[in-house]
Structure 1
Amino acid sequence: MRWGLAALLAVLLAACSTNPAPAPSPAAPVAARTATQLTTGWQFRFDDSLTPEAAAALADADWQTVALPHTWNRLGEYRVGRTGATDNRQGKGWYRLRLDGSTLPAGKRHVIEFDAVGNLADLWVGGRHVGSHAGAFSRFRFDLTDFLDKAGPNTILLRADNSAPIAGSTTQHIVPLDGDFFIHGGIYRPARLLHVAPSHIALDDHGGPGVYATPTIVGGAGKLAVRVKLTGATAGQSLVAVLRDGAGRTVAEGTMPLTAQQGEASLRLDVAAPRRWNGRPDPYLYRLETRLADGRGAVDSVTVPVGFREFRVDPANGFYLNGKHLPLHGVSRHQDYLGKGWALAPEDHARDMALIAEMGANTVRFAHYQHASDWFDLADRTGMIVWAEVPFVNRPSNDGTPGSPELVANAKAQMIELIRQNYNHPSVVTWGIGNEVDLDVVTGRAPPATDARPLLRELNALSKAEDPTRPTVLADCCEATHEGAVPASERPRQPVLTGISDLMGYNRYYGWYYREIGDLGPHLDRMHARYPAIPISISEYGAGGALSQHVEDGATHKIAHASRMHPEEFQNWYHEQSWPQLRDRPYLWANWIWNMFDFSSKIRQEGDATDINDKGLVTYDRKVKKDAFFYYKAEWSTEPVVHITSRRWMVRSDPLTKIRVYSNAPAVAVTLNGKPLGNIACVESICEIKDVGLTPGANRVVATARFDGRDVSDNVEWTLTP
C-alpha cells in the first residue's frame, strides 16, 4: 500500500512539472524465511569407537540409509523374553548427510534445527565441530553459515549418544538420570535447515520462536502483550504484528519502528471482545503473525498461536477456566509406539490425541519430559488442559549430593527450553519442575544424603522468572503414604516436597504397590487437611492389565505388582474402586491416570510382556482398548457406551460366570444365546449379572441400551470347554 501511494504521488508531481524526472522503481521484495526439510539422504551407523574423522571417511557401504525421524532403539514385546525385535543398545549412533552448498539460497544465514536428539548431540560440518546439545527432548539450533562451503559439497556429521547416565559416563550430568522409561537414541524428531536474512527474528533463544505473546482479559476486553527478540536489526526496519482470528481475518495490528541492532521490541494489541479458548467445548485459537519488514516488504516472519483464557486453581474447589468450575480428569502419556520407539510421525500423535479425546478426558499430563511440538499443537486444538514438565525424574544425582554444578546447569537449561519453546500454547497451564525425586531416598536405592529440594527450589524460582503467568507443579511419590500403617520409627526419612511449588501432584498407588485401595481417599483427606492452602491433585494412579490373563473376580485376586500375573479384571476393579474416591473429592484440582498407553521400560518383566509397563488403558501398539478404557469413557464421555468386559477371556472352563457391562445408559438389556436375561440397572456405569450359566461350546452374549431413540449394542462370544 505504501508503494502504491508513492507511485500515485509521483504521477501527480510529474503532471505538474515541465521537466519531470522518471519515477524510481521500488526494489524487489526480500524473500522471507524458508526451510529445507532434512528428511532423506541420511546415513546411520551405531559405533562407540568412531571418531569424526573416521566417520567422515567411511565408504557409503559402511552406512545404513535412513530417513528422519529415526531411532535405533526398539524396546518392548508382548511375550516372555526378548527376541531379535528388541534393540536396547545404549551408546553412540552416528548420522552423516551430504549437502550441496551451491543449492542454498544466496544472501541468507543457514541455521540447522533439530526438534530433538537423544540424548547428547554433537555436530560437525566439514570436519569442524559446530556445537553440542545436552538433553533428549528439546529443540536446538546451530548457525552453519560460516562452516559451509557455499560452492560445493559439505559433509554434516551428528553423533547421538544415549549412554546410560551413570557416574563417569558421557551423559552423567544430563537429566533424567533414572526413570521408568527408556531414553531412545537418535534424531527421533524432524530436522530442517532454516534460511533467514541477516536481519531476522532471533533463532538463538534456547530453541524458542523468538516471539512471546501474553494474552490477558480485562473487563471482557482482550490485551495482547507481544515481545519479540531480534538479530541484526537495521535502521529503517519495522516490526509488524498482525493478530488473525480462526477464519484468517485481521482483528488487531500494530507497527513499531526499529533502531540499528535493536535486540528486543515490545508492543501491545487490543481486541475488543476476544473469543475465549475454552477447553474441550471451544478451543478457539487466534494466530499472531509477526513480521520484520523494511521498505521492500517482509524480511522475516514467525507465526505463533494465541488463546485468550483465564484460569485459577482453588485449594478447596479445584480448577476454574474462564470463571467456570472445570473438574479436570485425564491421563498421562509417554511418546513411544511398539516397533517405532520414539520416532513418531504426525499421524501417530494425532491418533494418540484422538483416543484420549474419545475417552472423554479434558487434561493430559505430558510425562516426564518435553513432548513434540505436534503434541502441544494438538492439545491447543483439542482443548486439553496441559501439565508440561522438565525431565528431573527419580534420581537427583549420581553421587548422593544435591547435584553437581553441571547437572544443575543442565536441568535449568532444559527448564528454560521447555518454557520458551512452548510459552505461546494456551493449553499449558502449569510447568512441572520434577517427578518422584524423593523415590530413591524412600526406597533406599540411593545414599540418604541425596536431597532434591535445593535444585527443585532453583527450578521453581527459574520457572516463575521465565513465566510469571503460570503456576509451578511438582509430582511427589511418597509423602505420608504409610501413615497409620507403619510406625514412624520404622519409616525412612522422608524429605517433604509439598510447598516447594505452587501446585502439588501426588503419585499414589494404593492397592497396587502398597496397602489397600480403600486407603486412597482417606490419605488424600489427610494431605488436604495438612496443606489446606496448597491445591493438590492426583498426578498418577493405575494398575497393570495383561490382555491374555483373566480371573473371575478382580476384587478377590491377590495382586503382586512385580509378578507375571496382571489379569485385566484386576485392572478393571482397581479403576472402579479408585475413580469414585477421586471424583467425590472436589478439592482435587485434577486427576491423571497412569497411563493412557502401555510404554517401554527396561526395568519391567511383568504380566505377559517384556520391557513394557502395562498400566496403559490402550496397548503399546494402540490396537486394543482395554476394558478400563470403556469404564472411563462411560464415566467421562457423552457418547453412548455399551461395552461387555472380559471379552478376551474367550475360552472358559467354569460354567458359572458373571456378565459385566460398562455403560452410561440407565440400564442395559442382556441376552445369552438369544435368550433374554433382563434389563440390568447400571450403577455408576457398571451393569452386572451374577451366576450366569454357560452351555458347552459357543456362548453369545449381547448387551443393548437405548440412546436418544436408537439402540447401541455390543456382543462377545465365549466358548465353554468343561
Structure 2
Amino acid sequence: MKKYIIVLLVSLLCSQSFAQQRSRINTGWEFVKHDLGGIWEAVRVAAKGSSESVPIWEEVTLPHCFNAQDAVNPDVNYYQGPGWYRTQLKLENPYSKGRILLHFEGAGQKTDVYVHTTKVGSHTGGYDEWTLDITDAVEAFKKTALYTSQFKGLIPISIRCDNSRDLQMIPSDLSDFNVYGGIYRYLNLVYVPQLSLEKLFVKAETDKDGKAGRVVVKGRFYDPGKVGKASITLHLRDPENKILQTLRVDVGNIDEDKFLAEFKIRSPKRWSPDQPAQYTVEAAVHGEEEYIHKEKIGFRHFEFLENGPFVLNGKRLLLRGTHRHEDHAGVAAAMSEGQIRQEMVMMKDMGVNFIRLGHYQQSRIVLDLCDSLGILVWEEIPWCRGGLGGDVYKEQARRMLTNMIEQHYNHPSVIIWGLGNENDWPGDFSEFDQDKIRAFMTELNTLSHTLDPSRKTAIRRCDFCRDIVDVYSPSIWAGWYRGVYTDYKRVSEEENKRVKHFLHVEWGGDSHARRHSEDPDNALQKIEKSQGADERSGDASLYGGSARVSKDGDWSESYICNLIDWHLKEQETMSWLSGTAYWPFKDFSTPVRPENPVPYMNQKGVVERDFTKKESYYVFQSYWAKEPMVHIYGHSWPVRWGKLGEEKMVKVFSNCDRAEIFLNGRSYGVKKRNSADFPAAGLRWNLVFESGKNMLEVRAWKGKTMLRDTVHFDYETRPWGKAAKLELSKVSSENGIAVLEAKLYDEKGVQCLDASDLISFSLSGDGKLIDDQGTSTGSRKVQLYNGRAIIRVEERRGNSVVGVSCPGVKTVFINL
C-alpha cells in the first residue's frame, strides 16, 4: 500500500495540465432540483425567508449529482429532468490580457452556462471534458451598475444541467446504468494568458525490445487574442523528474494543430503494470506572460497476437481485469478524488492489471491513477443499447469519440478505444437496421484509427459487427445467464476461433452480500447442458424462460465464489487467452433492476457500493495478488447449519504455498496450494462442527512469511419450519449511529437461515434511517440474507420508533 501512495503523490504533483492558475470551484454553490421559468429567477435577489424568496435553494458542494439518493430509492423512479446551480465568484485574472475559463471535467447530460443573464455556452454529453471562455461576458457584466451595487464586485454564475430522457442522445435509457444529472465531476476555474496551449498531443513509442524510444509532440494553441505565432521551450523529464533533453522552437500559423518537436531516447524505462514508469513533457509558452503545460507519458509496446495472447514489451501478459462504473453509495456519480483513489487502489491490491471503463469516458483522475498504478485501459463511448438514432445522435457519438481520444491520448495505460456496447440490443427506435449499424460502426472505426493509429478498437456483444473492429468480445456468461460455469473454457475456445483478436470482457454473476449457502451449486442441476453461454433477450429477467442460475439460483456469495474460482482456475491454463475482465468491480445502481435483492442495484460487484468487500474479492486476490494473503471463507456468515456430526466444507482462499486449519484449537492438517485443484486451489477441509459456537483459524506460509485469519460462527443443528415471527434488536451504538438487526424465526424460535423474504424498515421520530445507499445494510427495502438484515440509524439524540415488516408476518417495533 505504501508504494502506491508514493506513486500517487508523485503523479498528482506532475500530471496536471494548466499547471498555473487553476483551482477547483467546490464550495459556495446553491442548487434547486427542478426547472426555472428563466435565467432571471436564478440571479434575482430576495431577502431570505421573504415571500419572494422562491424557489428554495439548498447549499451544496461540487461534485454533486441530482440522483445521490433517488437512484436507489425503492419506491420511485429516479429523477430525470433539469436542475440549476448558482454561485458568485470573485474573478481576478493575474494575466493582463488573459482569459477566464470554466473547465468542466464532466456534467450530465446537457448543460447551459450563464454569466448573470448572458448565456455563454452549452454542451451535450455527460462524460467528456469541455471548456468555456467566459471572459467577454464577465467584462461586459463588470461594466454594469449591478456589478458594484447588487453583487458587490462578484460575478454571478448559473448552470443548468438536464438529464431528461432523449432518444437522440447517447447513452440509451435502456442501458443497465443510470443516466445521471448534475455537475458530478470537478469544475475548475482556469486563468490563462492571451496565448496558451489548449492541448499537447504526445506520442511516446518504443520497439518491442525497448532499445529505442521516440517522443513526438504536437500542440493545439488557444489564441483568442490572435497573436498568430508562438515561441516554446520543451523539456523531456525522466521518471525521477530529471531533465533529459530540452528543445526551443518557434512556431508560426498556430491556427491549426502543429508539430512541435521530436525527442529520441535510448533504452527508455518502459511502462508496465509492475513498473509504471512515467516521463514528463513540459512545454513553456513564452510571451508577454509565460504559460506552462505538463503531460505525463510512458513508453510501452503492445500487440494482440492473432487468435492468441496479449504481448506487452515483448512478453506475454495475461490481462487480469475488471470494470468500473462511476457510482457510489450516498453520492451516485459525484465521487470525490479520495473515493476514486480508494477504489482504484483496492483494484490494484486485488491484482488487477486491466480495466474496461464502462460504458463511457471517465474522469481524468481515473486515467491518471491507471497510469501511476499500472492498470491497462479499454475506454469507450456511451453508444450503448437501443439501436441507432438520426443525425443528431450520430454527431454526438462522433464528437464524444473525438473528445475521448484527444483528451486521453497521452495516457500510457490506454490500449483500446471502445466504439460501443451491446449494439445488437434494439428498443429506442422503430427501425433496427443491421446494415446501418454496421455502416456507422465502420465510420467510427475509421475515425478512431485516423485520430489515433497506435491503439486498437473494440466492441462488446454485437456479432454482426465483430469483423469491423480490431478486438472483439462476445457474450459469455457461463453459469449465470446461460449454461454452467464448467462450460467456460470450451465456449471461450470456440469464440476465439471466430475472430482474429478475442478478449473476454463481462463475466460473472450477481451475489447478495452477506447471503451464504450450504449447497450453492444446487441450481446447476436444473440447467440444460446444451444451452451455450451467451446472454440472450430476457435472460436478465427474474421471470419466465428456460432455467438459468440468474433466475433460479440463490444469489449467494457462496455460489459466485465457486463460479469465479472455476473461471480463474481455467484462465491459468488457457495459454492462447489474451485476458478477461470481470463485470464489475463494485455494485452499481441501475433503473432496469427494481426487483433485485437490493432494489435498483446491479449486484455483480466483488465489493458493495460503499467499498465493503464481498467474499469474492479474496478469491481474486488468491489468484492475482502479489502480496501474501489468506482469508477463510465466511466472515459475514454468522450462523452455519446442518446435521449434528455432518462434515462441512471449510474453504481458505490464499496465494500462499501451504496452509494449516484449526477448528476450536485443534489442527486438522496442512495442505498445499494447487490452482488446478478446485475449489479453493486445494485449500479446503471437511470438518465436523460443534453445535453452538465454533472458531476457525488458518495459518498460511509463503516462504518465511506466515499469516493468520480467524472466523467465529454458530452452528445450528435444529431444523426450522415456516416463518412465523420477526425480531428487531439493537446490535450496537457508536458516535450516534445505531446498528439494528432484523431476524426471521419459525414458531419454535429457530432462525429461518435460508429465508430470503423482502422486508421493509421504517422510522418515526427524531432519528433517520441511513437508507437509499444501495447496499445490503443501507436499504429500507431489502431481501433477507440467511434470515436476517441490518439497517443503521442516525439517533440524533432524540426518540424514535423503528419498525420492520415482512409479508405474512406481524410487524415489530423497537424504541430508540
Give the TM-score of the pair, scaled to structure 2. Answer: 0.75
Residue aligned with 2:560, SS: helix
For the residues of structure 2 that align with 1:228 and 1:236, how far apart are their CA atoms? 12
Of residues 426, 448, 458, the one that matches 2:443 is 458
- Does residue 175 of structure 2 align to residue 179 of structure 1? yes
Query: Percent identity, aligned pairs only?
Result: 26
Paired letter, 1:462:
L
For the residues of structure 2 that align with 1:318 and 1:612, how far apart are their CA atoms? 34
| Alignment partner, residue 316 of structure 1 | 307
| Alignment partner, residue 617 of structure 2 | 629
**CA deviation after TM superposition for structure 1 residue 710, in Å:** 3.1
| Alignment partner, residue 571 of structure 2 | 582
**CA deviation after TM superposition for structure 1 residue 697, in Å:** 1.5
| Alignment partner, residue 46 of structure 1 | 33
Residue aligned with 1:174, SS: coil
For the residues of structure 2 that align with 1:57 and 1:562, how far apart are their CA atoms? 55
| Alignment partner, residue 488 of structure 1 | none
Paired letter, 1:65:
E
**CA deviation after TM superposition for structure 1 residue 346, in Å:** 1.2
| Alignment partner, residue 695 of structure 2 | 700
The alignment covers a number of residue pairs equal to: 647
Of residues 252, 269, 277, the one that matches 2:245 is 252
**CA deviation after TM superposition for structure 1 residue 650, in Å:** 1.3
Whether the 8 Å contact between 2:630 and 2:655 is mirrored in structure 1 is yes
For the residues of structure 2 that align with 1:372 and 1:102, how far apart are their CA atoms? 28
For the residues of structure 2 that align with 1:118 and 1:654, how far apart are their CA atoms? 51
Residue aligned with 2:445, SS: helix
Q: What does 1:482-497 correspond to in 2, within 5 Å?
A: 496-497=464-465
For the residues of structure 2 that align with 1:589 and 1:76, how far apart are their CA atoms? 40
CA deviation vs aligned residue, 1:537-564 (integer Å, no higher than 9, x gap): 1011011111232211322235642579
Q: In the superposition, relative to structure 1, how do residues 173 and 97 fare at CA in structure 2: closer, same or farther (>3 Å)?
A: same
| Alignment partner, residue 240 of structure 1 | 233
- Does residue 50 of structure 2 align to residue 82 of structure 1? no
RMSD between aligned residues: 2.5
Whether the 8 Å contact between 2:71 and 2:77 is mirrored in structure 1 is no
**CA deviation after TM superposition for structure 1 residue 305, in Å:** 0.8
- Does residue 333 of structure 2 align to residue 342 of structure 1? yes
Residue aligned with 2:399, SS: helix
| Alignment partner, residue 120 of structure 1 | 110
For the residues of structure 1 that align with 2:690 and 2:78, how far apart are their CA atoms? 47
Give the TM-score of the pair, scaled to structure 1. Answer: 0.85
Paired letter, 1:716:
V
Q: In the superposition, relative to structure 1, how do residues 109 and 563 fare at CA in structure 2: closer, same or farther (>3 Å)?
A: farther
For the residues of structure 2 that align with 1:415 and 1:470, how far apart are their CA atoms? 13
**CA deviation after TM superposition for structure 1 residue 470, in Å:** 0.9
| Alignment partner, residue 432 of structure 1 | 418
Whether the 8 Å contact between 2:522 and 2:553 is mirrored in structure 1 is no
Residue aligned with 1:131, SS: strand
Of residues 191, 194, 207, the one that matches 2:190 is 194
For the residues of structure 2 that align with 1:103 and 1:564, how far apart are their CA atoms? 62
CA deviation vs aligned residue, 1:298-319 (integer Å, no higher than 9, x gap): 5322111111111111123311
Paired letter, 1:74:
A
| Alignment partner, residue 643 of structure 1 | 631
For the residues of structure 2 that align with 1:372 and 1:528, how far apart are their CA atoms? 32
- Does residue 703 of structure 2 align to residue 717 of structure 1? no
| Alignment partner, residue 207 of structure 1 | none
Paired letter, 1:640:
P
For the residues of structure 1 that align with 2:556 and 2:211, how far apart are their CA atoms? 53
Q: In the superposition, relative to structure 1, how do residues 257 and 132 fare at CA in structure 2: closer, same or farther (>3 Å)?
A: same
Residue aligned with 1:411, SS: helix
| Alignment partner, residue 503 of structure 1 | 471
**CA deviation after TM superposition for structure 1 residue 589, in Å:** 1.6
Paired letter, 1:248:
N
For the residues of structure 2 that align with 1:314 and 1:106, how far apart are their CA atoms? 55
For the residues of structure 1 that align with 2:397 and 2:632, how far apart are their CA atoms? 47
- Which of 307-316 and 674-683 deviates more? 674-683
Whether the 8 Å contact between 1:555 and 1:570 is mirrored in structure 2 is yes
For the residues of structure 1 that align with 2:258 and 2:429, how far apart are their CA atoms? 50
| Alignment partner, residue 755 of structure 2 | none
| Alignment partner, residue 487 of structure 2 | 519
For the residues of structure 1 that align with 2:306 and 2:489, how far apart are their CA atoms? 16
Whether the 8 Å contact between 1:211 and 1:304 is mirrored in structure 2 is yes
Residue aligned with 1:436, SS: strand
Residue aligned with 1:93, SS: strand
CA deviation vs aligned residue, 1:401-446 (integer Å, no higher than 9, x gap): xx200000001110011000000000001100011111338xx997
- Which of 612-621 and 600-609 deviates more? 600-609
| Alignment partner, residue 555 of structure 1 | 521
Residue aligned with 1:272, SS: strand
**CA deviation after TM superposition for structure 1 residue 691, in Å:** 4.5
Q: In the superposition, relative to structure 1, how do residues 330 and 692 fare at CA in structure 2: closer, same or farther (>3 Å)?
A: same
| Alignment partner, residue 9 of structure 2 | none
CA deviation vs aligned residue, 1:256-295 (integer Å, no higher than 9, x gap): 113365544313333432433332221000111112113x
Residue aligned with 1:640, SS: coil
Residue aligned with 2:384, SS: coil
Residue aligned with 1:277, SS: coil
- Does residue 123 of structure 2 align to residue 136 of structure 1? no
Structure 1 residue runs without a partner (length 5+): 1-30, 167-171, 203-209, 398-402, 480-495
- Does residue 609 of structure 2 align to residue 616 of structure 1? no
Whether the 8 Å contact between 1:76 and 1:338 is mirrored in structure 2 is no
Paired letter, 2:687:
V
For the residues of structure 1 that align with 2:692 and 2:70, how far apart are their CA atoms? 35
| Alignment partner, residue 24 of structure 1 | none
Q: In the superposition, relative to structure 1, how do residues 106 and 243 fare at CA in structure 2: closer, same or farther (>3 Å)?
A: same
| Alignment partner, residue 259 of structure 2 | 266
Q: In the superposition, relative to structure 1, how do residues 58 and 162 fare at CA in structure 2: closer, same or farther (>3 Å)?
A: farther
CA deviation vs aligned residue, 1:571-593 (integer Å, no higher than 9, x gap): 11111222333333233322100
CA deviation vs aligned residue, 1:358-387 (integer Å, no higher than 9, x gap): 111111111111111010000000111111
Paired letter, 2:237:
R
For the residues of structure 1 that align with 2:33 and 2:447, how far apart are their CA atoms? 37
For the residues of structure 2 that align with 1:175 and 1:192, how far apart are their CA atoms? 25
For the residues of structure 1 that align with 2:166 and 2:633, how far apart are their CA atoms? 43
**CA deviation after TM superposition for structure 1 residue 97, in Å:** 1.6
**CA deviation after TM superposition for structure 1 residue 49, in Å:** 4.9
Q: In the superposition, relative to structure 1, how do residues 145 and 563 fare at CA in structure 2: closer, same or farther (>3 Å)?
A: farther
Paired letter, 1:415:
L
Paired letter, 1:391:
P
Residue aligned with 1:465, SS: helix
For the residues of structure 2 that align with 1:77 and 1:47, how far apart are their CA atoms? 16
| Alignment partner, residue 206 of structure 1 | none
Residue aligned with 1:394, SS: strand
For the residues of structure 1 that align with 2:705 and 2:214, how far apart are their CA atoms? 47
For the residues of structure 2 that align with 1:302 and 1:348, how far apart are their CA atoms? 27
Q: In the superposition, relative to structure 1, how do residues 276 and 394 fare at CA in structure 2: closer, same or farther (>3 Å)?
A: farther
Residue aligned with 1:267, SS: strand
Structure 2 residue runs without a partner (length 5+): 1-17, 148-153, 525-547, 718-816
Residue aligned with 1:258, SS: strand
Whether the 8 Å contact between 1:548 and 1:608 is mirrored in structure 2 is no
For the residues of structure 1 that align with 2:265 and 2:93, how far apart are their CA atoms? 47
Whether the 8 Å contact between 1:386 and 1:428 is mirrored in structure 2 is yes
Of residues 503, 507, 510, the one that matches 1:541 is 507
Q: In the superposition, relative to structure 1, how do residues 516 and 249 fare at CA in structure 2: closer, same or farther (>3 Å)?
A: same
**CA deviation after TM superposition for structure 1 residue 606, in Å:** 5.1
Paired letter, 2:558:
E
Paired letter, 2:241:
G
Paired letter, 1:39:
N
Residue aligned with 1:158, SS: strand
| Alignment partner, residue 798 of structure 2 | none
